[in-house]
Homo-oligomer: A and B are copies of this chain.
């Protein structure tokens, strides 16, 4: 019986969705920075920082500092093994997803995540951009040639984004929707532009409110081609 609570302390760490996402993101053996893991987990930098401190303290992760960057990787293959065993069990038992979405509909609909659009609108935007051939890739997103024209027309200075150090395109897990929305420099620039053009009105907190003009513009720009009931999956 002595093993009971010891198991519980490790499992409790894995039982938080943000931390689970962080660990899963590291399963391929890569080392990622705090910022990258925050995006992968779909939480702010400060929240991710706290989670990483816990995982580090529990020796599930190993940290390496490179200048200003802090890289984390799994502390060993047994961590990945536990994750895989859990995945297998979850699949066999038909585990449903933890309901950890935001508490109200406004946040769920559209909110700011770090500096880009999240929520239903954010997920819909990335999905549309993929289906319109503006962006391709699954985890490693890239702008297509068609996309470059589209975003330039939208008012984004892509050259300036590419001059910066930040990745331009990044899939960022949306924790209310459980699919990705668009992060990275492009995601940030799009949100900034939407605020500039009056599509989105910033309010107190994280809620992003689409204006009437914004709803129209969004649906026009990010309508999904051939969208009908057969796309329900």
Q: Could you tell me which A residues sit within 8 Å of B by CB distance?
A: 1-17, 19-21, 23-25, 40-41, 58-60, 75-76, 78-79, 81-83, 85-98, 100, 139, 171, 173, 175, 178, 180
Of B2, B94, B97, which one neighbours A59 at CB under 8 angstroms? Answer: B94
Of B3, B60, B93, which one neighbours A60 at CB under 8 angstroms? Answer: B93
Known: A6-B97, A21-B1. A86 touches B92 (CB 8 A): no
Q: Which residues of the other chain, B, contact A14 by a CB distance below 8 angstroms?
A: 7-8, 11, 15
Question: A78 to chain B: closest CB distance in Å?
Answer: 5
Is the Cβ of B2 less than 8 Å from the Cβ of A178? yes
Q: Which residues of the other chain, B, contact A139 by a CB distance below 8 angstroms?
A: 1
Question: A122 to chain B: closest CB distance in Å?
Answer: 14
Of B76, B98, B180, which one neighbours A8 at CB under 8 angstroms? Answer: B98
Is the Cβ of A21 less than 8 Å from the Cβ of B4? yes
How many angstroms between the C-alpha atoms of A13 and B93 in the bound complex? 13
Q: Which residues of the other chain, B, contact A3 by a CB distance below 8 angstroms?
A: 20, 24, 83, 87, 90
A-B contact pairs, 12 of them (CB 8 A): A4-B17, A4-B21, A5-B20, A6-B87, A8-B98, A9-B95, A9-B97, A9-B98, A12-B98, A78-B88, A81-B85, A81-B89
Question: A36 to chain B: closest CB distance in Å?
Answer: 12
Is the Cβ of A87 less than 8 Å from the Cβ of B178? no
Is the Cβ of A85 less than 8 Å from the Cβ of B78? yes
Q: Which residues of the other chain, B, contact A171 by a CB distance below 8 angstroms?
A: 1
Is the Cβ of A1 less than 8 Å from the Cβ of B86? no
Is the Cβ of B98 less than 8 Å from the Cβ of A40? no
Of B19, B23, B93, which one neighbours A58 at CB under 8 angstroms? Answer: B93
Q: Which residues of the other chain, B, contact A89 by a CB distance below 8 angstroms?
A: 10, 60, 78-79, 81-82
Question: A138 to chain B: closest CB distance in Å?
Answer: 10
How many angstroms between the C-alpha atoms of A132 and B21 in the bound complex? 52
How many angstroms between the C-alpha atoms of A6 and B95 in the bound complex? 6
How many angstroms between the C-alpha atoms of A41 and B75 in the bound complex? 31
Q: Which residues of the other chain, B, contact A92 by a CB distance below 8 angstroms?
A: 59, 76, 78
Given contact pairs A3-B90, A58-B95, enumerate 20 new A-B contacts (beta carbons under 8 Å). A1-B24, A1-B173, A2-B178, A3-B20, A3-B24, A4-B17, A4-B21, A4-B25, A6-B87, A7-B20, A8-B14, A9-B15, A10-B89, A13-B15, A14-B15, A15-B15, A59-B93, A59-B94, A60-B89, A78-B89
